[in-house]
Amino acid sequence: MRLLLKGQPASRGIALGVAHVREPLMHEVREETLPEGAIEPEIERLHAALDIARGELLQMRVQLQGALSHELGEFLDMHQLLLDDPELVLGMDDLIRTARYSADYALKLQRDRLLAVFDGIEDPYLRSRREDIEHVLGRVWAALHRGPTSQLAGLAGEVLVTDTIAPAELSQLTQRGVVAVVTGAGSALSHSAILARSLHLPLVVGAHEALAEINDGDALLVDGTTGEIIIEPNAEDLRRFKRIRREGQRERRELEKLKGAETVTRDGVEIRLLANAESRADVDRAYALGASGIGLYRTEFLFMQGRSIPDEEDQFLVYRDLVMGMRGRPVTLRTLDLGADKADRSGIALSHEPNPALGLRGVRLSLSQPGLFRSQIRALLRASAYGKVNILVPMVSCVEEVDVVRHLVASCTRELDEEGHAVAKRVSLGVMIEVPAAALALHSFGKRLDFLSIGTNDLVQYLLAVDRGNDAVADRASPLHPAVLRVVRDVLRHGRKRGMPVSVCGEMAGDPAYTRLLLALGLTEFSLHPGNLLEVRRIIRDSDLAELQRGLPRLLRAHDRAGIEAALRLMG
């Protein structure tokens, strides 16, 4: 029977598929005693499930490329270590042999023991890694309990229904035939949600009733744009799905025609579309799509992929290749942004902070390790000899930090010149505007900076005091708040007044729902994931900037999100 469920839309798109329900290990598992003759077969069943889980992780590692390899390798390595932990495996074997428990119950007991250990850890970041226990043992649980194959399996793809989804899993889901994901928990601003959007995989999070109402084999219609999940859709639902799918295919064909096209509004104003990148593959894609340059390259992924710290030469070679890949178009390289939710395996980021999001992260972490920071600045400057390089500094909150970085850049430039290394005559220096203090104190930066980049993800989090990864407050973490709009407007206005370029590089810039809003606020430089570039380009080409800016006073008069949304609808 048809049933409509509602969650939070996290990654746009619509998909029809067969439910594959991955139950969390939260539910009760009955304690039962196995007969003597069933003990060894049960151990074999457990080890077969462990082998399946290991094989899945290995396959994911082999398939990962470019940015995903850098970004998700940490998750995969930790999961592999857990599966290979002798204490975990031998402990379950022992429970089966001595207590004659089933593999299911032994797995549950080991899970409960490990979670109790993590819950007792004082460090909040390490304590939060209990999710890795849930994810990796959930993978073993799924291998122990493969659901029946639906009779619709040949007609539609698979929809994964689970409590949470690890970022590392998302990279392989589309290759496995998964067409959408529904989670009972989670936030639309989580790392997993951001990755799903870049993969164009429909995702609905926070669907609290999903695991209770959806069964393996149910036909599901998932709308990642509205957050609706329809169980056993009726004929009208299926007609709507087919119509939307046809329109989507036609739209993609039309978007392909915009590769390399000019990004100009209807009234003749040129807008620059820059790309966010994490790998050479992203850079190549951005160039092919006609991006004006790279507005944000996240250098921290070089540090997250291995246990050793990349030296100056290692960094220089990567940065040089990226700059050359854009063939003269500017490349903005952000200095190391580790800390908070970005862990590394080299030990650079602190592992014991009471509040990592407000702790030693971004430029604060770099300045605390002057040798490391100097080697990165030198590598960035050496890369500038091969093309236009801009240096972007994250998490800046005061002018003193800007001065220290400026002096370091000048010192490194002199050093390199004395050593005979080629360096561009001018390398632009900019900062991320993501800490409210930086936005409010822009006048103090004066002529110290060449450009600004607004990081809306953290700006929204800090300005609204909302943890963007927390499901309980996810609905409050929205850029459609009067305070957010005013801060963005004021930063853009400051840039225009001083003749200083300002871009927006957060998720807001790549969301077509906010394109006209940002244009009205005065944004002329968007930096976004390459996968969203053509859609945003089309909206800009269909927009009349003067008309949008006439509607700005109405937007800024709005006192709440509902009023802002109403004003946006009037903008078309």
Catalytically active residues, by annotation:
191, 505
Residue 433: both structure tokens together: 């505007």
- Separation of alpha carbons 519 and 547, rounded Å: 10
Cβ atoms < 10 Å from Cβ of 241: 18
508 contacts 481 by C-beta, under 8 angstroms: no
- Separation of alpha carbons 129 and 95, rounded Å: 25
Residue 314, Cβ density class (10 Å: 0-12 exposed, 13-18 middle, ≥19 buried): middle
368: alpha, beta or left, given left = phi > 0 and alpha = psi -120 to 50? alpha
Residues shown for the chain: 572
91: alpha, beta or left, given left = phi > 0 and alpha = psi -120 to 50? alpha
DSSP string, 480-541: -SHHHHHHHHHHHHHHHHHT--EEE-SHHHH-GGGHHHHHHHT--EEEE-GGGHHHHHHHHH
Q: What one-letter code names the amino acid at 554?
A: R
Could you give the C-alpha distances from 483 to 151, 533, 535, 564, in angstroms and in order? Answer: 52, 27, 27, 11
Could you give the C-alpha distances from 20 to 23, 50, 146, in angstroms and in order? Answer: 10, 20, 9
Supply the DSSP symbol for 264: B
